[in-house]
Each structure stands twice: as structure tokens, then as C-alpha cells.
Amino acid sequence: MFKRKLHPLPTFVYFVILLVMQMWTFNTFIIVAGYIASVICMCNMRGIERYLRKLPLDILVVAVCAMINLVGYHDGEHILTYINNNAITLEAINFGAHMGVYFLAMVNECLIYKEILTEDEFLYLFGRIAPSASIMISQVFRTIPELKNDYKEITMAAEGLGSFGLKAKRRNVSTLISKSLEESIERGELMEDRGYGLGKRTSYHRFRARKRDFVTGTIVMAVGISLFYIVASGKMTIYFYPKYEFKASYVINAVVSVFFFIYALFPIILIKGVRDGDD
């Protein structure tokens, strides 16, 4: 079946809930579930080989995070040894490892988000809030590659006259500034000519919400709210110092995490939509 891509708004809400949940709970189960789910999504997107190649780096990141935390924190019950009169504790290593896994999960999730949400979808989200800001961002998106390209041309023009070296570079930057200022004036005139500033702007977008978007949106919101409720009630609370322990029973933690794990696998459905569309 051909699955269509989701509307940007529920997609955005989904990712906000996903990230906030991990940040807020910092619960072992949730973080690990989030990491595994993000890896599955990444493998789905880019293939398993790329993940396997990256795996040593992931382990290194966790190890480094654990090391750094170990140097800075000396609290905790289980003291392994002393270095320079500072305690090296199991709890500090544990917390550092959590940080590492959490960091990796976040990075993966942001990459997935970037993959799903294109530039114009991002602009659309912005345009809903502030139409003029969205026009500005759209112009920034255009200007940056343009400046890069102009700088290359200016450098070539200067070198073509035999002007090299550090001082020449400085002059090139000055030429770049004059040229882009000049062009901004022309653009400003054209914007005015095209009616900019004549009243309230609207922001055109190509996205129309369908029934499916409302359904998915509702599911996302429902799951989000129930997760929030559970977390707010303190059931997922976890302590690292002085002793690593969970406030609620492991069973409750595990059940909620499975729930969260399935939630975190959502991008497969969302991404699948894009992929099938390409085929």
C-alpha cells in the first residue's frame, strides 16, 4: 500500500513529545528504549551497515561520557578506588553512561527529524506562527549559499588580476559585503514593489491536512498526554545518588517503557511514507 507522508504539524508535535519525555524522565528504561528505537529507525532509513560501522563510535561516546562524569563527580555509595583522595564511584560511572546513551538517542532522533521534515515543511511551521519571520528565514536559506558562491567568484576575479594573499582576502570580503548590500537594496525595492509591507501578510504553504493527519495527530496527542500523566505522577522517577534506584517497581517501569518504545518507532511509519512515495 502507498502510505503518504504525514502533515508537518503532527510530525512536529510528535518529535517534541519524544524528546521532552527522555529529557524529563532520564529513566534508564526510557533512554535505552529511545536509543534502541532510534537505531532501528536509522537502520530502516540508511541500512544496517552504516549503523554497524558507527557502533564503535557509539560505544566510545558512552565510555567518554562515563569518564568525564567520573572525573567531576565523586558522590555515591559504591566506591571503587581513590585517585588523589577523590572517590571513584560506580554511581558516577553509571550516570555518565546514561548521559552518553541519552546523547546518542537525541542525536539519532534529530537526524531522523531532519530526514523527515524538509526545509519547506519547517518554514511552513514557522509561517503559521509568524508569516514575516518565515519570509525572512526563507531569504536566509537563499542568501547563505549565494554568499558562498559570490565569495568564490570574487576570489577568482581577484586572483585573475594577480591579487593573492591575506590582504587580498580582506579586500575580497569587503567586495563581497558591498556586492551583497547592493543586491539587498535591489531586492528590498523589488519586495516593496511586490507589495511587502502593505498590510498583514499570509504565508502560503502546500500542505493540506487530511483525515489521516487528524487521526495520527490525535493518537500522538493521546499517547503524549498519557505519558506525561504517568511521568508527572512520579512513577518514572529515578535516583542516581547516593544510590542508583527506581521509585516505582521494575514492572511499571518496563511496561511504560515498552509503551514508549512503540511510540519511538513511529518514524518508521512516517519515513516509510516518504520512501514508498519515491518508489
Partner 1 sequence: METIKLENLTFTYEGASTPTIKDISLSIEKGTINLILGRSGSGKTTLLRQFKSTLVPNGKREGIVIFEGKDSKRIDPKEEVRRIGYVPQNPNTAMLTDRVYSDLAFVPESLGLSNNTIRQQVAETAHYFELDDIFLKKTNELSGGEKQLVSIASAMVTRPSVLLFDEPTASLDPGMAYKFFNLIKKINEELGTTIIITEQRSEYIFEMADKIFVMDGGNLIISGSRREVIKQLSALETLDGVKNLLPTTVKLFSKLGITPDKCPVTIKDARKLLAETYAGAGASPMAQEERKQREQGISTDSLKGFVHSESIESIPAESSTTLLELKSVAARYETGPEVLRNVDLSVNTGEVFCLFGGNGAGKSTIFKTLLGQMPERDGVVKYENAKVRKLPTGAGNVVYIPQDPLTMFTEITVTDEIMSLKAYGLADVTEEEATNTLIKYRLNNFRDLHPYDLSGGQRQLLALAKAFCLKPKLLLMDEPTKGMDPEFKEELQDILKDYVAQGNAALIATHDVEFSANVATTCALLFDGEIATTAEPHIFFGENTLYKTKASAIASELLPGAITLDEVLQRIGEN
- The residue assigned the cell 489521516 is 212
- Contact (Cβ atoms closer than 8 angstroms) between residue 109 and residue 19: yes
Q: Show the cell assigned to 271.
A: 519515513
- Contact (Cβ atoms closer than 8 angstroms) between residue 66 and residue 88: no
Question: HSE on the CB side for 3, CA within 13 Å?
Answer: 13
CB of 121 to partner 1, least distance (A): 12
Question: What does residue 82 show for φ and ψ, rounded to 5 degrees?
Answer: -120, 135
Distance CA(76)–CA(91), nearest Å, equals 5
Nearer to partner 1, 198 or 251 (CB): 198
Pick one of 75, 77, 183, 276: the residue that binds partner 1 (CB under 8 A). 183
Burial class (CB in 10 A: 0-12, 13-18, 19+), 42: buried
Distance CA(147)–CA(160), nearest Å, equals 19
CB of 134 to partner 1, least distance (A): 9
The footprint of partner 1 on residues 136-165 (CB under 8 A) is 138-139, 141-142, 145-146, 149-150, 152-163
Nearer to partner 1, 132 or 249 (CB): 132
Nearer to partner 1, 155 or 253 (CB): 155
If one asks whether residue 278 binds partner 1 (CB under 8 A), the answer comes out as no
- The residue assigned the cell 570580503 is 173
If one asks whether residue 177 binds partner 1 (CB under 8 A), the answer comes out as no
Q: Show the cell assigned to 125.
A: 511551521
CB of 1 to partner 1, least distance (A): 25
Pick one of 179, 237, 248, 252: the residue that binds partner 1 (CB under 8 A). 179
Phi-psi region of 78 (alpha: psi -120 to 50; beta: other; left: phi over 0): beta
The footprint of partner 1 on residues 75-134 (CB under 8 A) is 119-120, 123, 131
Pick one of 81, 84, 193, 234: the residue that binds partner 1 (CB under 8 A). 193
Distance CA(209)–CA(6), nearest Å, equals 9
If one asks whether residue 3 binds partner 1 (CB under 8 A), the answer comes out as no
Q: Which residues, in sequence order, are CB contacts of 91 under 8 Å at separation 6+?
A: 73, 75, 76, 77, 78, 240, 241, 242, 243, 244
Question: What does residue 88 show for φ and ψ, rounded to 5 degrees?
Answer: -105, 115
The footprint of partner 1 on residues 204-223 (CB under 8 A) is 204-206
CB of 163 to partner 1, least distance (A): 6
Nearer to partner 1, 149 or 226 (CB): 149
CB of 135 to partner 1, least distance (A): 7
Amino acid code (one letter) for 170: R
If one asks whether residue 48 binds partner 1 (CB under 8 A), the answer comes out as no
CB of 178 to partner 1, least distance (A): 7
Nearer to partner 1, 170 or 247 (CB): 170
The binding site for partner 1 (CB under 8 A) comprises: 119-120, 123, 131, 135, 138-139, 141-142, 145-146, 149-150, 152-163, 167-168, 171, 174-175, 178-179, 182-183, 186-187, 189-206
